[in-house]
Each structure stands twice: as C-alpha cells, then as structure tokens.
Amino acid sequence: MNQIPPFRSLSLRRSVLSVPAINLRALEKSHSLDCDAVIFDLEDSVAPENKGQARENLRAFFAGPPLAGKERVIRINSLSSEFGAADLDLVKALLPDAVLLPKVDEPRVIAETSDLLADAQAPEELRIWAMIETPRGVLNVGAIAESGCMPGARLDCLVVGLNDLRKETGVLPQPGRNFLAPWLMQIILAAKAYGLDALDSVFNDFRDAEGFDVECGQGRAMGFSGKMLIHPSQISAANRHFGPSEEEIAEAQAIISAFADPAARGLNVINANGRMIERLHLVQAEALVHKAHLISARKPA
Ligand SMILES: CC(C)(COP(=O)(O)OP(=O)(O)OC[C@H]1O[C@@H](n2cnc3c(N)ncnc32)[C@H](O)[C@@H]1OP(=O)(O)O)[C@@H](O)C(=O)NCCC(=O)NCCSC(=O)C[C@H](O)C(=O)O
Ligand SMILES: [Mg+2]
C-alpha cells in the first residue's frame, strides 16, 4: 500500500461558499464575505449556453484584486462532458488553489486529472477536490480517497453532493438525514483514512436558519471539517459550528497544560479531575488550538 502523504496543512474549511461564475454581483460580493473558501462554479449553476461567459467572468475576476485569506476553488464540468476540457484549460491558466471535480465515481478520474495538471506543469500546490455525489462514487469512495495517496496525486478534499445523490437514489430530503447517514459516515471514514478533509453537502433552504443550524451540528458531530454553502446567510453559523467553541479551546489548553506539568513527565496517561487523558488527547488538543490560532489570525473580510 502507498504511504499516506505527510500531514497536510490544516486548512480552514468551515464555510465553503459556492458562487455561480455567471453571477457578477455574487462574484464581487465574495471579497467581503467571511467564508474560509469560495468555490467558483462552472457546473450546475451555469446554463449550457452561458458556460463561455462564466469562464470569461472568472478570467476577469482572477485578474482583479486577490481574494484575501480564502481558498479559491474552481468547480469544473465533468472532463467527459463537452465543457470539461475548456474548463480545465481555464484552471491551468488561472491557477486557483484547487479544482473541484463533480460526480467523481472512480479513482481513475483523480489519476487522469493529476496527470493532466502535471503535463501542464501546474504547481503541486494546485490541489484536487472531488465531489462524491453518485451511487458509484459512494460505493468506490475508499478507492477514490486512496488514489489521493498515489505518487503525484493531488487529492485534498472530498465534498458531499446530496442533491445529486438524492436524485440518483430516490432518498427523500428528510430532517435528520437518517437514511443518508451510513453513506455520509462512509465518505468521512474514507477521507480520514487517507488524510483528506470531508465537507458536508449544501443545505438548499437558505431561509431556514434553524434547520441549517441543526444540520451543521449534525455534520460537525459526524466528523465533517466544514460545509459547502450556497448563500452568504449560512456563513456565520457554519463558522461557529465547525470552529472550536470557547469551551473546547479551554479544555484543549487544560490538556496541554496538564501534560506540560513536570509531574506528567514519562506518563502516557493521567487523571484530570476524574477523567482519563492520554497523549492521543494531547495531539487532538494541539490540533484544536492550532485551528483556533488559524481562525484568530485570519484577516477580517
Ligand atoms: C440561491 C440563490 C439563487 C439565491 O440568490 P438571491 O435570490 O440573489 O438571494 P438573496 O436576494 O437572498 O441574496 C442576498 C445577497 O447575497 C448575494 N448572494 C446570494 N447568493 C450568493 C452567493 N452564493 N455568493 C455570493 N453572494 C451571494 C446576492 O447577490 C445578494 O447581494 P446584494 O445584491 O448585495 O443584496 C443564490 O444564493 C445562489 O445562486 N447560490 C449559489 C448557487 C450555487 O452555487 N449552486 C451550485 C452549488 S450547489 C451544489 O453544488 C449541489 C451539489 O452539486 C449537489 O449535488 O448537492
Ligand atoms: Mg451536484
């Protein structure tokens, strides 16, 4: 088996906003929004007759002021579609932080895209994100995630697409996502097994703040790193749910202090007020505090 790549930089991906590349107002607005990443969408939010104009909009946008402090991701159309090749040419020209591939249902797609980017001498920093949103994508998600560990592969993040998955499977959009939970957990497990981030699906009813809150809480509890969003009104709740709370930061700092105490030297397990903590909890605590630092260091939008 291939080695899992070294620990990747802990990118903040709590709130990942999709912006239709055809919508100039939304593109402009993305500068002022407090999300961690923006997905510039050339796929399903752009009508076939507008794909060319959407690419032109992105060329102009990338030539303008940089999108400070946010990851820039371009979602292209499938490489097997009539639009895919021109979209990928645009990615090679604009060099965003990542290209998001829709409807990935087998590992071959990751390998082929990695090769195309390497052939174009795109810098290694240009990563691949993969949408898992088809029945075969879910069935093959372990192999897809593993393909990210092959030499030269650029896979960095899996993004769930429940609109497509519901369409393909007939699972109804019900609160609690009971029938989807096994598939969501399978995707998260595959991502974690190979050192990738997993992002939860969009929530369509952007005026339903309460329902969104519940779904963010569920996504965080499941182990997602963040959520793909469709509307600016969803950003602050996603940042809150997927970022560490004050209590979690205080608890992590207490664990770090407990292990820094000379009395803990040589111990792998200690009693913290009636609760067992091990060095594995120290690793978790350090990662959480690191994430908290990244959040406070982020430039305000
Ligand atoms: C859903 C929307 C079409 C609603 O847009 P609109 O009617 O303009 O909403 P509002 O009037 O409430 O907007 C208020 C202001 O916010 C700006 N806005 C809205 N959405 C965005 C956005 N995504 N990014 C940036 N700015 C945005 C409006 O311009 C208004 O600004 P102002 O003029 O200053 O008041 C719209 O929200 C939208 O198009 N959302 C994104 C849709 C999208 O990207 N779809 C593709 C991703 S979904 C997906 O991937 C599904 C997945 O594949 C799956 O299978 O599940
Ligand atoms: Mg989709």
Partners of 135 in the beta sheet? Answer: none
Report the C-alpha gap between 54 and 290 in whole angstroms.
37
Whether 211 maps to a domain, the answer reads yes
pTM as predicted: 0.95
Q: How far is the CA of 260 from the centre of ligand 2 (A)?
A: 47
Nearest CA to ligand 1 atom 53: 161
Ligand at shortest distance from the CA of 204: 1
State whether 225 and 252 are in the same domain: no
Handedness of CA 193, 186, 201, 165 (dihedral sign): positive
The residue among 242, 259, 275 that closes a domain is 242
Whether 179 maps to a domain, the answer reads yes
Nearest ligand 1 atom, CA 27:
25
Cβ distance 36 to 14 under 8 Å? yes
State whether 183 and 289 are in the same domain: no
State whether 98 and 163 are in the same domain: yes
List the one residue out of 37, 103, 35, 95 whose CA is nearest residue 63. Answer: 95
Torsion of CA 199, 200, 203, 204, to 10 degrees: 70
List the one residue out of 59, 193, 79 whose CA is nearest residue 130. Answer: 79
Handedness of CA 267, 272, 275, 277 (dihedral sign): negative
Enclosing domain of residue 287? 246-297
Per-10-residue mean pLDDT, the chain, length 301: 46 96 98 97 98 98 95 98 98 98 97 96 97 98 95 95 98 95 98 97 98 98 98 98 96 94 94 92 94 84 52
Whether 8 maps to a domain, the answer reads no
Which of 28, 29, 34 for mutating ligand 1's site (highest number of atoms within 8 Å of CB)?
Answer: 29
Nearest CA to ligand 1 atom 19: 231
How many domains are there within the chain? Answer: 2
Cβ distance 149 to 3 under 8 Å? yes
C-beta neighbour count of 83 within 10 angstroms: 19
CATH number for the domain spanning 209: value is 3.20.20.60
